[in-house]
Chain A
Amino acid sequence: MACGPLAFAQDDPTGGDPLGSMQYPSLREQTIGKAAAKFSDAVVIKGPAFADDAMNVPLLVDARGLSAVGGGVAHIRVAVDRNPVRQVLDFEPLRALPMLAFRIRMEQASPVRAFVQTQDGQWHVGSTWVQAAGGGCTVPGATRADGSWSQTLGQVQARFFNNVLEGSRRLRVRVMHPMDTGLVAGIPAFYIEELQLVDGAGQVWWRLALHEPVSENPLITFELPPQAVSGLRLVGRDNNGNRIDAEVGG
């Protein structure tokens, strides 16, 4: 430990980040611990050039480029360098393709990262820069502001779309939830922590852990194998123990 500070002072303070962010080393440690991570073009993360709505910043993550690397993708963790709550979500694709579309809140312009772990334990990082006027984490969402969230809490809308990607079946799910960040005065953090897609035999098709920055009434897009599966349900819970359990029609 004695030589630690000196050694760090001589290192690149951005940890080799191609976007040159001083927050990257601490974000990496918070997201994946002491493990090494290499920057990789095989991890694609795309946001808007400018976040016109800082409470709903659309992100696309695509790690299909790693499908044949290290046994395939095990985890996709998304994090934001300059958000007050930096961890966004942790996705285990399981039987789904390693790609995901969703929306987040951003408090200011920031790099946005996808840390992807392949089955061999190696971490691969993709980055993008999103400009924002900001403020998305510290104002209440629409249903919190008008109080309507309590009438719709936990309701699920889900729909399949065929062949958006050739040979794949897209599932879009929307779960009604205020997803309060805890950063608005008088409103504690209240957000969905866990979602998974389970079939009639109890097998899990994908698993998702969510954190506070995921936007209100999350709308999340998955890619599943083309064949229909019977008895699919979306199940999960929020941090107050409210259960989510809804049939997902084929």
Chain B
Amino acid sequence: MSAAKDRFRSPQGGGTPFGRLLLCAALALGGAAQAQTIAVPPPSTPDAATFNYDLRPRQIVEGTWVIEGAVQDFSRANGCNIINTAFIATGAGVVVINTGPSRLYGEQQRRAIERISREPVQRVLSLNLHPDYFFGNQAWADRPTQALPGSIAGMQAEGGAYADNLYRLCGDWMRGTESTPAREPVPPQTLQLGQRRLELMRLQGHTADDLVLLDHHTGVLFAGGLVFAERVPTTPHADFERWLASLDVLEQLITSGRVKTVVPSHGPVHSGLAGVQQTRDWLRWLTVLMQTSAERGLDLGEVLRTPVPERFARWAAQPAELHRSLSQWYPRYEQRTLAGPAPGR
């Protein structure tokens, strides 16, 4: 993807009014609820010579560690490690959350966890069907690997295509990786493990089945792919309306005081509403951009040249992630506009 980034050019003035008008629309829409900046910790330093991801579990609260991925897009330079994985030592076994993008990641994750906790790993959860949530499952073959039923079906259906894509993007970091979907469906429920009450909730919108884990003992919310922080959200399985509704649910949880810390799958760990607001702000901007552009008669090729508003400019994974979203979703807005009644008739 770095080639794609290098080749990006912001639109030349070129006599086209498109960019200017869109920018005005975006500015007009952008006033409400702008989220604050969240500090991004320095990334780890993966070593491509030894295929060492340099995984460094960071304890965020009692018994809870996060292994932070780079707040970037997939690339060979970061070993395609762009996801936050985590583990909770409950006193009655370790719960692992997400297993990373490759077999190697899973193996290194397991060694890192075993260096820190002597408790046996009780279960391994993948919060949704995307590859970096479960491609390390090979390292956990002797443990219960679990996900929502719909996520498992998606892993089984799409795992091969994910592998093709990640081998292309990540090269030898993927050596020996085979898509290994979670084996056990886990319904939404509350687990009592030692002193911990872990609530597993099923929300929707980032994918059709978004597992969210709230540790009531520590107030840590593992928000999965529903919350992105300081990074453009990915949308390959998005349902934008449901996603926004799920963000409202998460906002209520956070403002109720039950949530003290938010761990998104992509982006820095933070407290408060900043991640929820950033994600909502982006999804609203993106969907309004697509709707208004389609109504004005713009072609996909023109919309791809839309500059992002200033408040998003610092976020990671640009412009690739926006281009992927527009390429996938804008044609549906165009088709709806063409099928609808002509304006003013």
Partner-B contacts on A (CB < 8 A): 44, 46-50, 52-53, 56, 58-60, 101, 103, 129, 131, 133, 157-161, 164-166, 170, 172, 174, 219, 221, 249
B299 touches A60 (CB 8 A): yes
Number of A-B contacts (CB under 8 A): 84
Q: How far is the CA of A40 from the CA of B3 in the complex (A)?
A: 25
B300 touches A157 (CB 8 A): no
Q: How far is the CA of A16 from the CA of B317 in the complex (A)?
A: 36
Tell yes or no: B181 within 8 A of A by CB: no
- The chain B residue sitting closest to A173, CB to CB, is B338
B1 touches A50 (CB 8 A): yes
B4 touches A165 (CB 8 A): no
Q: Mark B321-343, 1 if CB is under 8 A from A, else 0.
A: 00110011001001101110010
B301 touches A47 (CB 8 A): yes
- Residue in A101, A161, A172 whose CB lies within 8 Å of B301: A101
Q: How far is the CA of A159 from the CA of B168 in the complex (A)?
A: 40
Q: How far is the CA of A208 from the CA of B173 in the complex (A)?
A: 47
| B-side interface residues, number (CB < 8 Å) | 36
- Residue in B7, B302, B327 whose CB lies within 8 Å of A129: B7
- The chain A residue sitting closest to B304, CB to CB, is A48
Q: Would you list 13 pairs from A and B whose C-beta atoms are within 8 A, ordered by A residue?
A: A44-B14, A47-B301, A50-B3, A50-B4, A52-B328, A58-B300, A60-B299, A60-B301, A101-B301, A164-B18, A219-B338, A221-B299, A249-B345
Q: A50-B4, A161-B296, A170-B297 are known contacts. Are A101 and B168 too (CB-CB below 8 A)?
A: no
Q: How far is the CA of A106 from the CA of B306 in the complex (A)?
A: 23
A56 surroundings in chain B (CB, below 8 A): 300, 327, 331
Q: How far is the CA of A157 from the CA of B339 in the complex (A)?
A: 7
A157 surroundings in chain B (CB, below 8 A): 335, 338-339
Q: A56-B327, A165-B16 provided; 11 other pairs, C-beta below 8 A?
A: A48-B323, A50-B1, A50-B3, A52-B327, A58-B327, A159-B297, A159-B342, A160-B342, A161-B297, A164-B18, A172-B299
Give chain B's interface secondary structure class: helix
A129 surroundings in chain B (CB, below 8 A): 7
- Residue in B302, B324, B327, B328 whose CB lies within 8 Å of A101: B302
- The chain A residue sitting closest to B299, CB to CB, is A101
Least CB distance, A63 to chain B, in whole angstroms? 13
B7 touches A131 (CB 8 A): yes
Tell yes or no: B298 within 8 A of A by CB: yes
A47 surroundings in chain B (CB, below 8 A): 301
B319 touches A49 (CB 8 A): yes
Q: How far is the CA of A50 from the CA of B168 in the complex (A)?
A: 14
A221 surroundings in chain B (CB, below 8 A): 297, 299
Q: How far is the CA of A185 from the CA of B96 in the complex (A)?
A: 45
